[in-house]
Amino acid sequence: MQHDPLHILLADDDEDDRLFFKDAFEEIKIKTVVHTVNDGLQLMNYLNMENALLPHVLFLDLNMPFKNGLECLYEIRNTEKLKDISIVIYSTSASEEDIEETFVKGANVYIKKPNDFLTLKKMLAHIITINWQYDTCGLNKENFLLSIQSQ
């Protein structure tokens, strides 16, 4: 695995956020391939293609047109070939309800979109260096919301 680039997919309807995301990964010195889709519908269409290259980690915004993040999460976790994808919720809000609901529906990590670029880079770097195999075994509510002190 170490030599293969890590496949990362972001579903977010906000152009600026997609830009931040891609730029952040460009600045992180880890071999990654980043794809982005613009909404939930595109995401599901992409994932359900016959020969789709499934991402190692999927970053999922909650508030998207056509199909929101929660619906996507539910569908992915209930589709045999997709259900093992690691899913990181990537949202502006960090409300209790959203955190609770996405945790129950089987997301692996919850990130609140940070307010500055440095923190974003730190968070993303942390996420992709997680040993997923180990981490997904014991889902833990305490560690679900990823918090990285800014600066």
Size of the site for another protein (CB under 8 A): 19
**131 touches another protein (CB under 8 A):** no
- Longest Cα–Cα distance in the chain: 43
* Cβ 23 to another protein shortest distance, Å: 8
**142 touches another protein (CB under 8 A):** no
**47 touches another protein (CB under 8 A):** no
Backbone angles phi, psi at 106, to 5 degrees: 105, 20
Contacts of 70 (CB under 8 A, 6+ apart): 62, 101, 102, 105
Question: What Cα–Cα distance (Å) separates residue 91 from each residue in 14, 64, 100, 134, 144?
Answer: 11, 10, 13, 24, 14
**147 touches another protein (CB under 8 A):** no
**133 touches another protein (CB under 8 A):** no
Please list every residue from 61 through 100 that binds another protein, using CB under 8 A: 63, 92-96
List 54, 71, 114, 146, residue binding another protein (CB under 8 A) = 114
